[in-house]
């Protein structure tokens, strides 16, 4: 579920930035800035990189909702995502430009569901996003844990992502930055097609 949410939003953001800048190359990638050894990931250069920094349970709606005994209640989580712009060769102004476009995108589009975002689970609840503030004291510790020097970035919280075991989701969303030659058959299957296949198998004529 988390990978579907992040990748689906990344694709929408990528389309927005491409249209704004009139470019064809991918402008967004779902990837950490550095690998496990602390080496910079070269694929993030000249792009917005999106990576997960925290997951928390949404407890407000959990405590307010009643469930019948014997049923496992759905789990709702919030995730915090970092959108960072790494531009080498001291192209600092361009990095600020890309971060500004991220803020503009989420100011225009701050609610996501299966009706406006391809790749999200069918009948998914509405995922809302909001700017997530990180204090000056916390930002230094955070980037130290990331293992990289600070680059222009902005963090958003995506709220109430539902895990209920019922929604059908596409398990192989398109990954930005991956060559089309390495894509597979499932990259072109919409979640609705998956549901139709399952319904046909469960209800043979």
Phi, psi for residue 189 in degrees, rounded to 5: -95, 125
Exposed/middle/buried for residue 46 (C-beta within 10 Å: 0-12, 13-18, 19+): middle
State the average pLDDT over residues 134-162.
Answer: 91
SS3 of 134-198: the string is: CCHHHHHHHHHHHCCCCCCEEEEEEEEEEECCCCCCCCCCCCCCCCHHHCCHHHHCCHHHHHHHH
Count the domains in the chain: 1
Does residue 125 register a pLDDT over 60? yes
Digit-coded pLDDT (tens) for 102-113:
999 999 999 998
Q: What is the pLDDT of residue 153?
A: 96
Digit-coded pLDDT (tens) for 16-58:
999 999 999 999 999 999 888 888 888 999 999 999 999 998 7
- Read off the pTM: 0.77
Count the helices and strands in the chain (H runs, E runs): 5, 6
Which structural domain, as residue segments, surrounds residue 65?
A: 2-202
Question: Helix or strand or coil: residue 79?
Answer: strand
């Amino acid at each position: 579920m988390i990978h579907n949410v992040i990748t689906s939003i990344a694709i929408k953001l990528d389309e927005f930035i491409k249209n704004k800048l009139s470019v064809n190359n991918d402008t967004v990638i779902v990837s950490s800035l550095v690998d496990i050894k602390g080496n910079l990931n070269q694929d993030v250069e000249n792009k917005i990189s999106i990576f997960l920094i925290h997951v928390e349970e949404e407890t407000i709606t959990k405590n307010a909702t009643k469930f019948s005994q014997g049923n496992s209640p759905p789990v709702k989580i919030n995730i915090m995502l970092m959108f960072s712009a790494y531009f080498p060769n001291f192209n600092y102004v361009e990095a600020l430009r890309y971060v500004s476009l991220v803020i503009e995108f989420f100011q225009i589009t701050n609610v996501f569901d299966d009706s406006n975002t391809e790749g999200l689970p069918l009948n998914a609840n509405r995922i809302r996003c909001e700017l997530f503030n990180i204090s000056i004291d916390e930002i230094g510790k955070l980037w130290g844990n990331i293992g990289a020097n600070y680059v222009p970035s902005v963090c958003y919280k995506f709220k109430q992502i539902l895990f209920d075991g019922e929604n059908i989701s596409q398990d192989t969303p398109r990954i930005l930055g991956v060559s089309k030659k390495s894509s597979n058959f499932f990259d072109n299957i919409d979640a609705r097609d998956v549901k139709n296949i399952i319904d046909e198998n469960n209800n043979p004529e």
